[in-house]
Every structure is written in C-alpha cells, then in structure tokens.
C-alpha cells in the first residue's frame, strides 16, 4: 500500500511495555468531523453552538453528575496513582500524555471541580479547576474522540474508575450543546429512518440475501435459506448491518444461516430491526440507546418469535447484555426457557456440546488461528452461565472448527485484551492516524504469534473489529484477509445434510 502520511509505530515484544517517551501535543490536531445540523436535529440536538452554550454545558454536566452517582464518584476518588497510564492503546501508540486515561479524564474533572466542588469555586487555580470555554470544549472534542471506551484502563484501576463512562458523559454534553460528532450521529439517524447503520433499504437487503442464498447453493449444493420478516419463526436474529455488506462479515452471516439450517431451527431476520449495533452507547445518550433498542422489541412482537439471538458485534452485545432488559423490557412475551438476550456463539456452542451439529476441521485446513477478544464482549458483558464464558465459549467454537488454535500473549487477551483501535465511534477515515497507532499493541501481540507459532489468521467476534483490522493490517505488513469471522470458520467446517 502507499506510504502512510504519518509514522507507523515499531512493533516490539508484547511481554514488555515500557512507558513511552512523552510527546506532548502529538495528537492535538486529531479530531473527527463535527456533526452538521442535518445530523444533529433528527436526534433532538441543537444544530450548532449558540449563545449561552457554556452555561448549558455546565447545567447538563450537573444533571449527569446528579443522575449517575458513579460519575460523581469517579470525579472525586482518583488519586493520580498512575496505574492506568500505560494501559491505553492510544497512549502506547501515540505517546501523547493526554491520552493517558487519567489525563483524559482530568479534562472533564477540571470543569467538574470548577462548578461542583467548594475548592474549585473558591480557589480554582489551586485544584486544577477550569472554566468551560471554547478552548476547553475544543480539547474535549479532540481527546474524548481519542477514547474507544474499551475500559481496559478500568481493569487496572485500583478504584475501578470507569473512564468509558466519563468519555460517554463528555460526548453527551457536547451533543446537548450542538457540538456532536458527524460519524456517530449520522449513523444513528440512519437507524431511526431506515433501520440499520448502513442506510440499507429493505429492497437492497432482500436482494443481498437472495444473492447469498444462491452463493451457498452453488458452494454446498444445499438450499440454505436467509429468511426475513417471517412471522412465527422461533428465532429473531439481530445482527450488525456490516454482515450484509462486506467480507469477512458476510461470511459469518452465511455461517449463522448454516448453523440454523443444520440444527433445524426456524429463524428470521427483520427489515425493521436490521441492525444489532447501537451507537447511542458511543455518544453516551440513553434516550438514543432506548429508541434503537425498541425497534428490536417491536420487531420481535410483530413477528411473534420465541427468542432473540444477536450476531457477532461487540458493542451490540454489550448493550444487549447490560442494558436491553431495562431499556426495552420486559421481555415476558418470549419463551422463558431461553436467556434474553442470547449470543449466536452461545447458541452454536450449545449445539456443538450436544452434538446438534457436526463440524469437520478439515474445512479449515492450512489455517492456524488466534482470536482477538473484542473489548465490549470481554469487559462489558458475559456469555453462558459461568464467569469467563465470554472467553471460553468463543475459543471452544473456534477450536471445534479449526485444526490448530493458539492464544496471543496472556497480557493481551481476555479481560486484559487490547482494543482493535477503531471502537467507540472512531471508525472513520479522518481518524486513520489514531486508528493505526492505537492498533499497535494488538499488532504487536499478533506479530509475536505469527513469528513464533505460525499463526495465519485472527478471528474476531465484532463487526467494528473486523472492519478496523481489514483497514489496519496492511499498515503492519499483514494481509487484510487475515481477519476472519468466528462463524466464517464454522461455515467452512459445518457438515450440511441434504434436508432442504
């Protein structure tokens, strides 16, 4: 590929992570596009900054601190111990000290102290308190869009400060005064209007699914169906719209379909809820999260399904697992025998354990797999009925599908996993430098197992991770097709009976 217009971090040993030499201001110019009025107003946000925005920002901060006690606790209890400083992939990749989690949180904390603590009101200079000004707002916009809300720093914080919640609050405040981010808000608007992040209308979706059915028939000789809007189906599959659009995502979707077919389970997609992703979480707005989640509830009720299964999408699973029951519940119209929600990996793993489907590992001959634990799955949710299921279940499905599997360095997997570098609403081209540099810790761990263990492919269970890696891998001299969907591996290995 063409030379990048920025320096690519050198990859070292994943077992050694010395604190980088600081480069103050290295990413001060990095920022996403500001949302236009056309992206703000459909979501109920002001179209631009107007007179008095400073006061409204402080008032909104006050309402968040009052409503979410955890946010106030996070503001008050940080002791600057430094445990989080070298845990952020963006700091490790960019060396910008404001990408240390504690320093980024202090951008918010300095304003909080000015208006909501006695010391900040009386002697702001002594406690690092700052007025809300345009310079402060600009700094917020730049650096709170250099946080992927991955929560890795929170794992190492002795007080459990969740910097993702701080980032979400900052973005919510910025939206409320007319300084939103174009990428996220434009996508949310598409979901409200059409039903999915890509803005893919129903006729185009139907055409895509018909094409996939033809491809599977040509490849397997079996008529595997991609049903949509089928009333009375047992399962409503809600999957990220990327699964309808590009590889490796679409290969995972074909894997889902083959699993349902082989298991003899009736299922359906929905044109109304053709999106599992929920960017309302990225902007920290629970009203938007709820509105998007309600589309899933309405589709499930209209189609009369018995259970809901989510496809491979990290933040979709976090929203579903952590928020769906309170945002869009109760789900008492579904079959109580099944968990609400359920992940496709839970469903497939259960079938594997019960021998409800048959897999032949030779379908993936020549592949040596490792897995990227997606942040929102690893640190924002669980799978199965045992702690750590979000780690063991994906690995069990992969190991049942491939001849050889190896894990990356233990400091880079499971609850210590590094972000792909493109999560949290940052998967946009104007942030490419940030994305490439933020991916360097994961690339470092990947290179280690490629060199030492002969790894040929890396599986991911998140649409954003897959999209990020297909763009980022070539910057580090890896093939973009090295990243695969977990259910792509299942699709290659599954044995289909001719029971169409």
Average pLDDT over residues 193-210: 92
Tens digits of residue pLDDT in 277-308:
999 999 999 999 999 999 999 999 999 999 99
Rounded Cα distance between 76 and 89, Å, is 25
- Token readout for 216 is 């599977």
Inter-CA distances, 292 with 36, 135, 231, 273, Å: 21, 33, 21, 9
Summary mean pLDDT of the chain? 95
pLDDT band at 438 (very low <50, low <70, confident <90, very high): very high
- Give the pLDDT band (50/70/90) at residue 199: confident
In this predicted structure, the answer to whether residue 500 has a pLDDT above a threshold of 80 is no
Token representation of residue 164: 């993702």
Alpha carbon distance 181, 364 (integer Å):
41
Instruction: Label residues 149-169 b or e (16+ Cβ within 10 Å = b).
Output: bbbbbbbebeeebbbbbbbbb
Print the SS3 string covering the chain: CCCCCCCCCCCCCCCCCCCCCCCCCCCCCCCCCECCHHHHHHHCCCCCCCCCHHHHHHHHHHHHHHHCHHHHHHHHHCCCCCCCCCCCHHHHHHCCHHHCHHHHHHHHHHHHHHHHCHHHHHCHHHCCCCCCCHHHHHHHHHHCCCCCCCCHHHHHCCCCCCHHHHHHHHHHHHHHHCCCEHHHHHHHHHHHHCCCCCCCCHHHHHHHHHHHHHHHHHHHCCCCCCCECCCCCCEEEECCHHHHCCCCHHHHHHHHHHHHHHHCCCEEECCCCCCCCCCCCCCCCHHHHHHHHHHHHHHHHHHCCCEEEECCCHHHHHHHHHHHHHHHCCCCCCCCCCCCCEEHHHHHHHHHHCCCCCECHHHHCCCEEEEECCHHHHHHCCCCCCCCHHHHHHHHHHHHHCCEECCCCHHHCHHHCCCCCCCCCCCCHHHHHHHHHHCHHHHHHHHHHHHHHCCCEEEECCHHHHHHHHHHHHHHCCCHHHEEEHHHHHHHHECCCCCC
| Averaged pLDDT, 9-13 | 92
**Tens-place pLDDT, residues 203-242:** 999 999 999 999 999 999 999 999 999 999 999 999 999 9
- The tens digit of pLDDT for each residue in 394-408 reads 999 999 999 999 999
Per-residue pLDDT of 59-97, as tens digits, reads 999 999 999 999 999 999 999 999 999 999 999 999 999
Percentage of the chain modeled with pLDDT above 70: 99
Given this model, what pLDDT does residue 499 score?
A: 43
Distance in angstroms (rounded) separating the CA atoms of residues 457 and 312: 17
Predicted pLDDT at 15: 84
- Percent of the chain whose pLDDT exceeds 90: 94
Residue 482 token pair: 């090295």
Buried b / exposed e along 432-468 (16+ C-beta atoms within 10 A)? bbbbbbbbbbbbbbbbbbbeeeebbbbbbbbbbbbbb
Domains of the chain, residue spans:
37-187, 195-406+455-493
């Amino acid at each position: 590929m063409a030379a990048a217009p920025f320096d690519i971090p050198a990859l070292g040993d994943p077992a050694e992570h010395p604190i980088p030499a600081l480069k103050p201001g290295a990413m001060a110019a990095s920022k996403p596009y500001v949302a236009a009025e056309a992206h703000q107003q459909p979501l109920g946000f002001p179209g631009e900054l107007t007179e008095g925005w400073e006061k409204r920002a402080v008032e909104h901060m006050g309402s968040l601190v009052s409503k979410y006690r955890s946010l106030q606790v996070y503001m008050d209890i940080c002791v600057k111990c430094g445990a989080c400083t070298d845990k952020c992939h963006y700091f490790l990749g960019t060396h910008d000290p404001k990408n240390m989690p504690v320093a980024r949180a202090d951008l918010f904390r300095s304003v909080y102290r000015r208006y909501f603590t006695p010391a900040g009101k009386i002697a702001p200079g002594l406690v690092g308190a700052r007025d809300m000004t345009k310079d402060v707002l600009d700094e917020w916009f730049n650096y709170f869009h250099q946080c992927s809300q991955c929560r890795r720093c929170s794992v190492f914080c002795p007080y459990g400060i969740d910097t993702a919640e701080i980032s979400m609050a900052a973005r919510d405040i910025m939206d409320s005064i007319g300084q939103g981010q174009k990428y996220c808000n434009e996508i949310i608007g598409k979901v409200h209007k059409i039903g999915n992040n890509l803005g893919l209308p129903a006729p185009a979706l139907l055409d895509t699914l018909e094409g996939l059915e033809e491809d599977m028939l040509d490849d397997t000789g079996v008529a595997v169906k991609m049903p949509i809007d089928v009333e009375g189906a047992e399962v409503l599959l809600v999957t990220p719209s990327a699964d309808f659009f590009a590889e490796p995502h679409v290969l995972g979707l074909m894997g889902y379909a083959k699993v349902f077919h082989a298991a003899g389970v009736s299922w359906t997609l929905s044109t109304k809820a053709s999106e599992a992703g929920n960017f309302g979480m990225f902007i920290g707005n629970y009203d938007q999260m709820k509105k998007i989640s309600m589309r899933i509830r309405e589709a499930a009720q209209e189609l009369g399904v018995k259970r809901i299964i989510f496809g491979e999408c990290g933040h979709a699973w976090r929203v579903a697992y952590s928020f769906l029951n309170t945002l869009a519940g109760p789900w008492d119209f579904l079959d109580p025998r099944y968990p609400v929600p359920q992940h496709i990996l839970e469903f497939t793993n259960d079938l594997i354990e019960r021998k409800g489907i048959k897999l032949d590992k030779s379908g993936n001959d020549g592949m040596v797999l490792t897995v990227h634990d997606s942040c929102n799955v690893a640190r924002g949710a669980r799978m199965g009925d045992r702690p750590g299921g979000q780690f063991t279940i994906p690995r069990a499905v992969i190991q049942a599908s491939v001849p050889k599997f190896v894990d990356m360095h233990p400091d880079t997997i499971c609850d210590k996993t590094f972000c792909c570098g493109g999560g949290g609403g940052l998967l946009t081209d104007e942030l490419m430098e940030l994305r490439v540099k933020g991916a360097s810790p994961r690339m470092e761990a990947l290179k280690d197992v490629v060199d030492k263990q002969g790894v040929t492919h890396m599986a991911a269970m998140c649409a954003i991770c897959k999209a990020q890696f297909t763009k980022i891998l070539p910057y580090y001299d890896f093939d973009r097709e090295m990243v695969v969907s977990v259910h792509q591996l299942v699709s290659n290995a599954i044995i289909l009976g001719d029971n169409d």
